[in-house]
Amino acid sequence: MKPPPFEYHAPVSVSEALEALAATGPHGKVLAGGQSLIPLLNMRLVAPSHLVDINRIGELDTLTAGADGVRVGALARHATVERSTEAAAVQPLLRQALRLVAHPVIRNRGTVVGSLVHADPSAEMPAVLALLGGSVRLACLGGEREVAAADFFTGPMESAVEPGELAVSAFFPAPPPRSGTAFREVSRRHGDYAVAGMAALVTLDEDLRIASARVACVSVGPGPVVVDVSDACARRPAASVPWDAVAAAVRDRIDPEGDIHATAGYRRHLTGVLAERALKDAARNAGTEAAHE
């Protein structure tokens, strides 16, 4: 299949891109990695009359890791972030999740920020950003704004990006001390979108008891569903936490829908299983992190 006709723009700077997006308004679409957009164009599920290709804008191809977190530029590819030892040292959940994104050939071209803007509720990156309380920086001719993850995902395949705006970067905060993360998912075939998935973040106190525990569920709502299960962990050491009860608390907080891939009941069950496994993994990683202090 072929895409519908469109006018092609190839800016070489952010200012040129913003001018093009301002001129095209709701009729313009940004092309970065294209791993989601191109199939949608070819299947004619989207039909923008203008395509703004930002791949020539070198200033967007950035990845910086600092003590406070990792900032990923709009053209940083999945594979680049996945392979970055600096990014993984600051925020391990990025690598843990990115290893599960599709296939290497997709990760070599697809972008982290593009995945966030695409806002697929079955994708890994939105769950990571939501769990960590990250943000996306949006630019337009009038300036920039930073949108928190809690406000960024507005519905299935919908984000807070307005016509004329360009997502220029995303920020993934570093975890607190004595924290551990993990990502688990199940898909019908390797590389497919997850039938259900789970990102987990566990933080220990100075006595190595669980101070906080949160998860972000994938494929069970219109966007990533964040659940705080700290109370269910009851400030216990990880070895004495009733993880099955914690998983039940996660299941009780979701309202999945059935589709051709799985029934709602199976998704709910699978989410509980993945929550227990991911939280155990994260608690174990938190203990390892604490031992290295």
Same structural domain, 184 and 285: yes
User: What are the backbone dihedrals phi and psi of residue 271, each rounded to the nearest 5 degrees, phi first?
Assistant: -60, -40
DSSP H helices, the chain, are: 14-24, 37-42, 78-83, 85-90, 92-98, 104-107, 112-118, 124-132, 149-152, 230-233, 243-252, 264-291
Looking at the structure of the chain, the number of domains it has is: 3
Same structural domain, 155 and 108: yes
Range of the domain at 73: 58-171
Same structural domain, 41 and 107: no
Would you write out the chain's pLDDT as a tens digit for each of its 293 residues? 789 999 999 999 999 999 999 999 999 999 999 999 999 999 999 999 999 999 999 999 999 999 999 999 999 999 999 999 999 999 999 999 999 999 999 999 999 999 999 999 999 999 999 999 999 999 999 999 999 999 999 999 999 999 999 999 999 999 999 999 999 999 988 888 899 999 999 999 999 999 999 999 999 999 999 999 999 999 999 999 999 999 999 999 999 999 999 999 999 999 999 999 999 999 999 999 888 77
pTM over 0.95: yes
Among candidate residues 171, 192, 220, the one where a domain is terminated: 171
Query: What's the CATH number where 93 sits?
Result: 3.30.465.10
How far is residue 264's CA from residue 179's CA, in Å, rounded to a whole number?
32
Among candidate residues 106, 138, 171, the one where a domain is terminated: 171
User: What are the backbone dihedrals phi and psi of residue 84, each rounded to the nearest 5 degrees, phi first?
Assistant: -75, 115
Helix/strand number for the chain, H first, E second: 12, 14
Same structural domain, 226 and 161: no
Query: What's the CATH number where 274 sits?
Result: 3.30.390.50
Same structural domain, 23 and 45: yes
Same structural domain, 65 and 49: no
In a domain, 109, yes or no: yes
User: Residue 66: which residues within 8 A CB-CB, separation 6 or more?
Assistant: 90
In a domain, 1, yes or no: no
Q: CB–CB of 93/199 below 8 Å?
A: yes
In a domain, 15, yes or no: yes
Same structural domain, 28 and 120: no
In a domain, 39, yes or no: yes
Among candidate residues 139, 171, 203, the one where a domain is terminated: 171
